Amino acid sequence: MKVPEGLYYSKEHEWVRVVDGRAFIGITDYAQESLGEIVFVELPEVGSMLDAGDVLGVVESVKAASDVYAPIAGKVVEVNEALADDPALLNNDPYENWLAVLEITDDSMLEDLMDASGYEAFCAEEE
């Protein structure tokens, strides 16, 4: 299981990469592995405001349809349309293929998330 350094991780198995005040959100390797073959991704609307914990989208595999939650609050400024055509990108490289970009409203929310080693320990407990 890959858990890259430098990202923030949530207990719902999302990752956050911060670039110039904007947060790229995706699902972790652990998440894609548990879901299995992903067949559909539902993305949020650009411009919508999300609170931390709001549903950001839905990832559907052959086994289940799971909600993806916003790990932090923010305004959706961009979504990854490529996933609509090729949902399997999430299986191939979950850290390259983000779902949405949020404009961060409150930096301090990142402090509630885990770092790579914290998340790795969390996953080990989940197993």
Partner 1 sequence: MHRYIPNTGEQREEMLREIGVSGIEELFADIPGSIRLKRELDLPEALSEMELVRHLKELAGRNISTDEYTCFLGAGAYDHYIPSVVQHLVRRQEFYTAYTPYQPEISQGTLQAIFEYQTMICSLTGMDVSNASMYDGATAVAESAAMACRATGRAGVIVARTVHPQSREVLKTYFRYTGRSITEWGHKDGRLDPGELERLLSDDTAAVIVQNPNFFGLIEDIGGISDMVHNNGSLLIVSCNPISLALLKPPGDLGADIAVGEGQPLGNPLSFGGPYLGFMAAKEKFMRKMPGRIAGETRDRQGRRGYVLTIQTREQHIRREKATSNICSNHALNALAAAVYLSALGKNGLKKVAELCCRKARYAYDGLLKTGAFSPAFPGPFFNEFTVRYHRDIDMLNDSLLEHRIIGGYPLERDYPELKGAWLVAVTEKRTRQEIDNFVERAGSL
What is the binding site for partner 1 (CB under 8 A)?
A: 40, 42, 60-65, 67
For residue 47, the minimal CB distance to partner 1 (Å) is 13
For residue 55, the minimal CB distance to partner 1 (Å) is 9
Q: Which is nearer to partner 1, 77 or 84 (CB)?
A: 84
Q: Which is nearer to partner 1, 35 or 113 (CB)?
A: 35
Cα dihedral 2, 4, 5, 10, rounded to 10, equals: -80
Q: Which is nearer to partner 1, 42 or 120 (CB)?
A: 42
Q: Which is nearer to partner 1, 11 or 63 (CB)?
A: 63
Instruction: Please tell me the total number of residues recorded for the chain in this structure.
Output: 127
For residue 40, the minimal CB distance to partner 1 (Å) is 7
Q: Are 98 and 90 in contact (CB under 8 A)?
A: no
CA distance 28 to 4: 10
